[in-house]
Amino acid sequence: MDETDAPVDESDPIPPSTATGGLREYLRDHAVHAAVIFGFLLYPLAYEALLATPAAPFAEAFLPAVTFMIVVLYMGLFAMSFDFVSGYTGYLSFGHAAFFGTGAYFVVLAANGQVPGVPGGTPFMITLLLGAVVAGLLALVIGSVSFRLTGVYFAMITLGFAQVIYELIRSWGYVSTNPTEGATVSGDALAIGVPYVDALSLDVGRLTGESVENLLGLGVDLSATVVSYYALGIVVVVCYFAMQRIIHSPFGRVMIAIRENEERARAVGYPTYRFKLAAFAVSGFFGAIAGGIFAAYSRSVAPDGTFYFLVTADALITTIIGGFGTLAGPIYGTLFTQGLEDVLSTESGGVATLLRERLPESVLQADLFGISLELFVNTAVDGRAPLYLGIVFVLFVLFVPNGILGTLRDRLGGTVGKRLPDHLRRYFR
């Protein structure tokens, strides 16, 4: 008897062929996700390997350092949380920094034993979730007022709430003796992993992070910075898939319906106000997670780096560059902007440093429109990332309004995860 004629046990809820086909389809749909995660996983090792080769000066000049990649992780997560509500409901939140700052400050204050009801030795993962819950509740309070308005009025009132909180934190003496300068973790390093299980936790931080020697007996040593990169990356990946699952649920479909035509969604019976409020709370929750892992790594927070409205502006810029309503797009936008900043800075190399160190003195002093090449590099290249980022932003708005990932989706005719494997198969048969 042929395999296709074999009887199927009716007690089995899922026939083997169906289960296999579903697993194959799931793996195919997430092949791009796996490739991106694998790329992020290998990046620190590849970067360190390049630094040990003659190509080291060029790697330092044109590739972002691991410290910049850590910024990509937590700022990318924050931008994704911003896109979750702004890109999928159409309500632009200019006050999203309030949630980032809430998560960051809660973690630091909890580590210092300054949060009532939370002992000083509480594991970081617990305080991270508690801070996210507090931010979610704060989002409910802000949203209950803000969602009574629409359009630019909604954006302005969320900005107003954020600025009120910003000024409060800057003058609140309970936070620290000098609240305008922020607060610092005074205790031990904060660990990402399973609470109360040291073997399954890793300390993170620029100076307090945990290093690994002879990983799995392969002779590979991981610095504290690389270990922090991987630990924070796990949190970002989990949060991304959680938000993606919500977006692809019936709840997420209602969010998209609100974005496309809120009146019609309300007319068919959906309580749009409640859905918007819930989406705002979820967005605030994940925004606080981003702020919490930032605080864990930097071990210090300041109002200007967390609650200030320009923090939201950074998320807005990276989301526009990456693609509104794509969820993954903001992290590519963050990678783009942080990479540009790294290339044009001198903190860890950069093009200006490469030119000054590699070009002969005669070339550097050569006349270029009445000034020397060295002066031109110092004036027009070194540290000019904000200038060129502004130009790039204008060009994206004018010519790539859907962003990097949004434009790619338009070209492929669907989501990248589902359409790209088919397109690649067409070219590599």
What is the rounded CA–CA span in Å between residue 33 and residue 382? 35
Q: What is the DSSP-derived secondary structure letter of residue 203? A: E
Read off φ and ψ for residue 203, nearest 5 degrees.
-70, 140
283-298: per-residue pLDDT in tens? 999 999 999 999 999 9
Q: Which whole-number Å values give the CA distances from 167 to 79, 98, 303, in the listed order?
A: 23, 11, 8
Q: What is the pTM of this model?
A: 0.90
Q: Provide the phi-psi class of 396: left if phi over 0, else alpha when psi is between -120 and 50, else beta.
A: alpha
- Which comes out higher in pLDDT, residue 11 or 232? 232
Q: Is the pLDDT of residue 313 over 70?
A: yes
Read off φ and ψ for residue 172, nearest 5 degrees.
-90, 105
Q: Provide the phi-psi class of 7: left if phi over 0, else alpha when psi is between -120 and 50, else beta.
A: beta
Q: Is the pLDDT of residue 177 over 80?
A: yes
Q: Is the pLDDT of residue 52 over 60?
A: yes
Which domains does the chain possess?
Answer: 39-344+384-427 (1.10.3470)
Half-sphere exposure of 65 (CA within 13 A, CB side): 17
DSSP string, 125-169: HHHHHHHHHHHHHHHHHHHHHHTTS-HHHHHHHHHHHHHHHHHHH
What does the pLDDT read at residue 187? 80
> Which residues lie closer than 8 Å to 72 by C-beta, 6 or more apart?
64, 331, 334, 335, 338
Read off φ and ψ for residue 310, nearest 5 degrees.
-70, -20
Percent of the chain with pLDDT over 90: 59
* Burial class (CB within 10 angstroms; exposed 0-12, middle 13-18, buried 19+) of 266: middle
Least confident of 62-71, 168-177, 376-385: 376-385
Read off φ and ψ for residue 37, nearest 5 degrees.
-65, -40
Specify the 3-state DSSP secondary structure of 367.
Answer: strand
Q: Which whole-number Å values give the CA distances from 304 to 92, 159, 380, 383, in the listed order?
A: 21, 15, 27, 20
Structure tokens at 424: 């690649």
Q: Is the pLDDT of residue 8 over 50?
A: no
What does the pLDDT read at residue 216? 72
Q: Is the pLDDT of residue 133 over 90?
A: yes
- Taking alpha carbons only, the member of 49, 77, 6 closest to residue 318 is 77
List the beta bridge partners of residue 371: 368
239-281: per-residue pLDDT in tens? 999 999 999 999 999 999 999 999 999 999 999 999 999 999 9
> Which residues lie closer than 8 Å to 170 by C-beta, 6 or more apart?
179, 180, 303
Task: Over range 303-312, report the average pLDDT.
Answer: 95
